[in-house]
Amino acid sequence: MGEIVLAAKCTHVPTMLMSEQEGPVKGKRQAAIDGHMEIARRAGDLGADTVVICDTHWVINAGFHINANSRFKGLFTSNEFPQFIQDLEYDYAGNPSLGDAIARHATDKGAFTLAHRLDSLELEYGTLVPMRFMSRAHEMNVVSIAAWCTVHDHEESRIVGEAIRTAVEASDSKVLLVASGSLSHKIWPNRDYAANNGTFTISSEFNRQMDLHVLEMWKRGDHATFLKMLPEYAGFCCGEGSMHDTAMLYGALGWDAYDRACEVVTDYFPSSGTGQTNVIFPVH
């Protein structure tokens, strides 16, 4: 019988890649990189063989979609930030049977979902950035779930999360579940970016204060209250992908019945106007 052994909310900012390259960002995101590796190390200690990543950089407009290919290999350049992520090589094994099962269970529960095994369907960087660093600490197969949901509501994403758990428990996989996305996500307007040292600053003090408040709620396990404010938080603070990754995460963990105290493994930091962190949601 399979199980979700660990869960996490993770940053995927492109500056993590730039942090390992020569230039003005070199070394600046080491804490975020270390956080990814720590999460993967702990997942490895718990026997994880697969990481399921809810990716807020995979935009969808109809249904829900899962990249369930058996192998992901390619060369990735970001359409959004080609100056930040270019010619990124990747090669990871998938877990097709688990991806198919998640789609089947989600559809059965009322959230129409399709799983795909297409070599031409590339991974997005909400999956590729965590995998680049997590794979250094522990090698895992990957299943990527689209979580930039444009016409879906959080209740549907909750169902997808429940389906993740149902499918995992019916499998023989031990899974690290990752919600890949920021907290607040109000990127600096282009005209203001340079003047505000945009790479390293937040665009809204209100957003920063809300992010810090949410982290305190997570740290004390007050998830039931957080879920009551999730729709407004995602809306007012421009949550990345409307925070459907987070709704999926909570759906898999039991929604408002989940009450475990979270652990911040990367201190909150601003990036291009947005609020970022790495947080462990313990299961055991």
pLDDT value of position 138: 98
Q: State the Cα–Cα distance between residues 239 and 236, nearest whole angstrom.
A: 8
Q: State the Cα–Cα distance between residues 251 and 162, nearest whole angstrom.
A: 5
pLDDT above 90: residue 242:
yes
The per-residue pLDDT for range 223-239, each reduced to its tens digit, is: 999 999 999 999 999 99
Q: How confident is the model at residue 194 (pLDDT cuts 50, 70, 90)?
A: confident
pLDDT value of position 217: 98
pLDDT value of position 51: 98
The per-residue pLDDT for range 84-135, each reduced to its tens digit, is: 899 999 999 999 999 999 999 999 999 999 999 999 999 999 999 999 999 9
pLDDT above 90: residue 263:
yes
User: Within 13 A of 221's CA, how many CA atoms are on the CB side?
Assistant: 8
User: What rounded mean pLDDT belongs to the chain?
Assistant: 97
Mean pLDDT of 8-32: 96
Under 8 Å between Cβ of 271 and 13 = yes
The per-residue pLDDT for range 168-187, each reduced to its tens digit, is: 999 999 999 999 999 999 99
What CATH number has the domain bearing residue 217? 3.40.830.10
Q: How confident is the model at residue 193 (pLDDT cuts 50, 70, 90)?
A: confident
pLDDT value of position 41: 98
Residue 131: CB atoms within 10 Å: 26
Q: How confident is the model at residue 252 (pLDDT cuts 50, 70, 90)?
A: very high
pLDDT above 90: residue 154:
yes
Out of 109-113, 156-160, 191-195, 239-243, pick the least confident.
191-195
Q: State the Cα–Cα distance between residues 2 and 81, nearest whole angstrom.
A: 37
Per the structure, the count of domains in the chain is 1
pLDDT value of position 198: 86
- Domain of 37 in residue numbering reads as 3-281
Q: Which of 132, 138, 142 minimizes the C-alpha distance to 85?
A: 132
